[in-house]
Structure 1
Amino acid sequence: MTHAEHDVVIVGGGHNGLVAAAYLASAGRSVLLLERDDHVGGAAVSAPAFVGVDARLSRYSYLVSLLPQRISDELGLDIRLVRRRFSSYTPDPADTSRGLLVDNADPEATRESFAAIGAEADAASWTDFYATTARMARAIFPTLTEPLPTREEARRMVGDDEAWTAFVERPLGQTIKARFDDDLVRGVVATDGLIGTFAALDDPTLDANRCFLYHVIGGGTGDWDVPIGGMGAVSGELERAARKAGARIVTGADVLSVTPDGEVRYVRDGVEQIAHGAWVLANVAPVVLERMLDAGADDLDTRARSAPALLDQRDRTGAGDHDRRWSSRPRVQRAAVWRPADAAEGAQVKVNLMLTRLPRLRDTSVSPEAAFGGTFHINERYGQLERAYEQAAGGEIPDVIPCEVYCHSLSDPSILSPELAASGAQTLTVFALHVPDRLMDTGDEDDLRARLQAAVLASLDSVLAEPIADVVMLDANGEPCIETKTTRDIERAIGMPGGSIFHGPLSWPFLEDDEPSDTPADRWGVATAHPRILICGSGARRGGAVSGIGGHNAAMAVLESD
């Protein structure tokens, strides 16, 4: 068994781990990054999804908003993003021959679209509402790569007590219903509070509010952009930066356990190895870190029982800290991280498709290119969202599943081979809401996946002028190019407990006024119960989405502490 010493050991090679590795190695620290898979990137990867189809799809995450330009500049990243002209298109489920098209480049056309669905009175409210979220974005987004402000400091930064109350202190549903009259418009606004979050819009826990806030502050504008080359291009640049800085990246390394004093045990090529870090950065979900800590405690207890004489001798002879830890370290505490680990639950099904062309719409006033050029909302009236939540909370698959649809290839055809692009082929990503992980316990998993896929495609068909099956491409084996990933599939593939894309509940981007801020780890929002172990992934405060913020902030906490 080999044993190696490092300044920093990073567990998990997702994009946040790569960010942390690049910063710390650039600062002269010896960095070892361990990744279970045979490649890095975690959820931010691109890969062929269908046999014989030359297209590299963003398999899990797909859009970029929260990645600060500061991180790109400081790490010298060449990441290209494309801004979508159309914000969204939403067919009216009550009359699918009409819909709401929000055109970022043509405010007048957007106002006319509001009028066409009978929501003319909401057009001005829409403009005022998003002007308010833009002001909050400009105030809050720059703080995400700085030590956490307190709640009161953040409120003063926003400088608008009415807006603060509306988005931070009052349930999101109440704010939306007070601002908008039309149920369709209300639903379009509400979806940003529900992507990846299973919550009622009027829930006093404000889970939807936190999700909404992160969705509207990205980049200081709230825009969600398409990464040229797919998400794999983002992780590829981060890997290049980390390796260039001198970080050692080891793939195929399955971490078995972690101890509070920095021992990390892992298996690679069937050989168990030990790495020891002055710091351990956990780019895994809090519940996964907790399991690793428990495994470390159990392993140390087993060694202590099997070699008491050796341990006694070490204690008597005054052995160094590395040896004494076996006999003196207290058993690892449960709930080892600052956020409840047992609350991790995803709430989505993701369906990737390859199409021979875009499908026709029932609304002939909007071209498919415009409708799919932004976020295509399906069956997301406010009432439909609440009905779907109630059914799912009751243990049932919703009768009508609300969906968000994205077409990466319209904005970035580089993910397709030249032949596919020339043929008119397009990718489609469907993200279904209110499908919590708990539903996977209600029956056979394969049967549930098939039922969920059928429900998602039926939801899509409900607003199209032709069945989606008519334009789905066939792979080299003659099978439809449809890939469905449930929360359980996501958990198995990339280690997100319960399929939670945020690694658990999101946190406010500030400290409560009475919360401790004594250590750099506290101030940067990356602390655990163990001083030498930091959270550096989506489970960090201000984590979630493809942002690199968790990795940046953990690196800053290490550098400030050393």
Structure 2
Amino acid sequence: MADDLSTLRARYDAVVVGGGHNGLTAAAYLARAGRSVLVLERLDHVGGAAVSERPFPGVDARLSRYSYLVSLLPRQIVHELRLPITLLRRRYSSYTPVGDGGLLVDTGSRDATRASFASLGAAADHDAWERFYAMTGELARRVAPTLTSPLLSRAAMREVVGSDEAWAALFERPIGSVVRESFADDTVRGVVLTDALIGTFAAVDEPSLRQNRCFLYHVIGNGTGDWDVPVGGMGAVSGALRDAAVAAGAVIVTRATVTAIDPASGEVAFTDGDGVPRAVGAGHVLAGCAPSTLAGLLGDGSSPGEEPEGAQLKINLLLTRLPRLRSDVDPAAALSGTFHVNESLTQLETAYAQAAAGSVPDVPPCEIYCHSLTDPSILGPSPREAGAHTITLFGLHLPARLFRPDNEATRSAAVKATLASLNSVLAEPIEECFALDADGEPCLDARTPIDLEATVGLPGGHIFHRDLSWPFAESRDEVGRWGVETAHPRVLLCGAGARRGGGVSGIPGRAAAMAVLESPSSV
């Protein structure tokens, strides 16, 4: 970190705009290659949305406040940067309460999972489930290695996939129709389709296939599609990347707000923490911010397309104990994986229609999981010994447009509706389990897309910066490139809005560093 700005150079080989996990990844790779690197971060800390924070006054609990699980971070990046992070796999993939029973997907017991399908009256869907996820698993094994290489053409990616069935199902046909054909049960269909809607406001049959792209990125991580728990919380991931960048010689300046980028000269203008205007030169500028934000900084009238729109409500909770369930399933099993709440296909479609019409859904679909069941290290000794647990809730189909007119009032309404939705599948109100902070207030922290825009700088609160793109070149001139290039040779994307961006992956950051190192001007 640089506290004395008088020691900054006039020019750096690379200036990284934004100290999110991708910006830190790019900085670490470039600094390790001997390049001079400066990272400028608007906030007083780095990590962007991949941070751990203590949101509750007087409570010793560090929660992954925004992003919370890891799937897309390639082991290759972990090994190349020698990151000291530990990811733990969750034995239970998911639990979906239905009436007084539910569907438990147990990765440790095929027989238990089959029995759970049968108890739901969906025995035939278990075989379909295994066939479907065998298909996505093989696709993941084949596609994941391409994410850290130069872009393939669409035709070449199809050859990599190697299955006409898989290609049609995920790349050509709306995922909604594929799932309807594959599964008969409404609940099973919904469990599959939630991966197509996380952070993406779309109908499951939308012709644009943006829901397919979202689904694809949720099932291909590291060739397995597993979503793992970062020990120490998400801050441990960004902290490891920060340490790797600094150890390699990168300079990080926080409370530095970039105000303009000159794409011709590479000059980056910013204001420091005291509001003093400053400027620094750069051989390359790597933008860890969203493409729409970059367009404003360039000031050249360029536009990345439609304004991004996030579509989620994030609620963090601290509980004194786990809530009781209606079924005889152990809450520790049900909540250690993804706990689906009112996410059948019919419920997802109803919620989407209501949100698209301008209303908070009557029964918001959401999903929760308990980080502390897998990784209790995020709790201090006192709450841990008292049996406290953290809960992360992710609400679907709550787009930014609903919150723009009155964020405070709509947030309150959305939280109330979402907790009511959760309570509808529990044996007791979740409120009875709330811990209290030092001020006697319930430990509940809610973030809307508008809150994410204001606090983390995500336009429209879009957690992927913009709608996800296909992980291959969509034009001839992209083939063999890195998916981070812009219209300006000096300026590269290195955030989630790059091709193959989204999620906590470091892939765009590494890609931008590779593009710089391959550039003739960097030799």
Interval containing the TM-score (normalised by the shorter chain):
over 0.9
Match of 2:107 in 1: 104
Aligned counterpart for 2:392 among listed residues 426, 429, 436: 429
* Per-residue deviation, residues 432-460 of structure 1 (Å, max 9, x unmatched): 0000001113x422111110110111111
For structure 1, the residue ranges without an aligned partner over 5 or more in a row are 295-331
Q: Please tell me the residue identity of whatever aligns with 2:147.
A: L
Give, in whole Å, the separation in 1 of the partners of 2:473 and 2:79. Answer: 27
Give, in whole Å, the separation in 2 of the partners of 1:469 and 1:33. Answer: 42
Give, in whole Å, the separation in 2 of the partners of 1:334 and 1:39. Answer: 30
Report if aligned partners of 2:307, 2:460 keep a CA contact under 8 Å in 1: no
Match of 1:515 in 2: 476
Give, in whole Å, the separation in 1 of the partners of 2:420 and 2:252. Answer: 44
**TM norm structure 1:** 0.90
The reply on whether 1:410 has 2:415 as its aligned counterpart is no
* Per-residue deviation, residues 1-34 of structure 1 (Å, max 9, x unmatched): 9871110000000000000000001111110000
Match of 1:192 in 2: 195
Q: Please tell me the residue identity of whatever aligns with 1:509.
A: P
The answer to which of 547-556 and 259-268 deviates more is 259-268
* Per-residue deviation, residues 363-421 of structure 1 (Å, max 9, x unmatched): 12x01001001000000000110111111111111111000101100000000012211
User: What is the DSSP-based 3-state SS (H/G/I as helix, E as strand, rest coil) of the residue aligned with 2:499?
Assistant: coil
Aligned counterpart for 2:494 among listed residues 524, 529, 536: 536
TM-aligned CA deviation for residue 223 of structure 1? 0.3
Runs of at least 4 residues of structure 1 off by over 2 A? none
The reply on whether 1:58 has 2:21 as its aligned counterpart is no
Match of 1:14 in 2: 20
TM-aligned CA deviation for residue 333 of structure 1? 3.7
Match runs of 1:123-522 below 5 Å: 123-261=126-264, 262-268=266-272, 269-294=274-299, 332-335=300-303, 339-340=304-305, 342-364=306-328, 366-441=329-404, 443-512=405-474, 514-517=475-478
Aligned counterpart for 1:35 among listed residues 37, 41, 51: 41
Report if aligned partners of 2:37, 2:250 keep a CA contact under 8 Å in 1: yes
* Per-residue deviation, residues 144-196 of structure 1 (Å, max 9, x unmatched): 00001111111101110111001110000010001000000000000000000
TM-aligned CA deviation for residue 515 of structure 1? 2.8
Report if aligned partners of 1:343, 1:505 keep a CA contact under 8 Å in 2: no
Match of 1:315 in 2: none
The reply on whether 1:551 has 2:519 as its aligned counterpart is no
Identity value in percent: 60
Give, in whole Å, the separation in 2 of the partners of 1:356 and 1:252. Answer: 36
Give, in whole Å, the separation in 1 of the partners of 2:146 and 2:416. Answer: 43
Match of 1:309 in 2: none
Q: Please tell me the residue identity of whatever aligns with 1:356.
A: T
Report if aligned partners of 2:310, 2:400 keep a CA contact under 8 Å in 1: yes
TM-aligned CA deviation for residue 275 of structure 1? 0.9
* Per-residue deviation, residues 41-85 of structure 1 (Å, max 9, x unmatched): 000000101011100000100000000000011101011000000
User: What is the DSSP-based 3-state SS (H/G/I as helix, E as strand, rest coil) of the residue aligned with 2:315?
Assistant: strand
Give, in whole Å, the separation in 1 of the partners of 2:282 and 2:313. Answer: 38
User: What is the DSSP-based 3-state SS (H/G/I as helix, E as strand, rest coil) of the residue aligned with 1:89?
Assistant: strand
Give, in whole Å, the separation in 2 of the partners of 1:177 and 1:444. Answer: 37
**Change in 2 beyond 3 A, CA 1:122/1:12:** same
User: What is the DSSP-based 3-state SS (H/G/I as helix, E as strand, rest coil) of the residue aligned with 1:516?
Assistant: helix
**Change in 2 beyond 3 A, CA 1:446/1:517:** closer
User: What is the DSSP-based 3-state SS (H/G/I as helix, E as strand, rest coil) of the residue aligned with 1:154?
Assistant: helix
Q: Please tell me the residue identity of whatever aligns with 2:57.
A: V
User: What is the DSSP-based 3-state SS (H/G/I as helix, E as strand, rest coil) of the residue aligned with 2:246?
Assistant: helix
Give, in whole Å, the separation in 2 of the partners of 1:433 and 1:64. Answer: 19
User: What is the DSSP-based 3-state SS (H/G/I as helix, E as strand, rest coil) of the residue aligned with 2:280?
Assistant: strand
Q: Please tell me the residue identity of whatever aligns with 1:394.
A: A
Give, in whole Å, the separation in 2 of the partners of 1:270 and 1:81. Answer: 40
Give, in whole Å, the separation in 1 of the partners of 2:476 and 2:187. Answer: 40
User: What is the DSSP-based 3-state SS (H/G/I as helix, E as strand, rest coil) of the residue aligned with 2:478?
Assistant: coil
**TM norm structure 2:** 0.97
For structure 2, the residue ranges without an aligned partner over 5 or more in a row are none
User: What is the DSSP-based 3-state SS (H/G/I as helix, E as strand, rest coil) of the residue aligned with 2:385?
Assistant: helix
* Per-residue deviation, residues 494-524 of structure 1 (Å, max 9, x unmatched): 1000000000010000013x43137x7xx10
Give, in whole Å, the separation in 1 of the partners of 2:226 and 2:162. Answer: 22
Q: Please tell me the residue identity of whatever aligns with 1:526.
A: V
RMSD over aligned CA atoms reads: 1.1
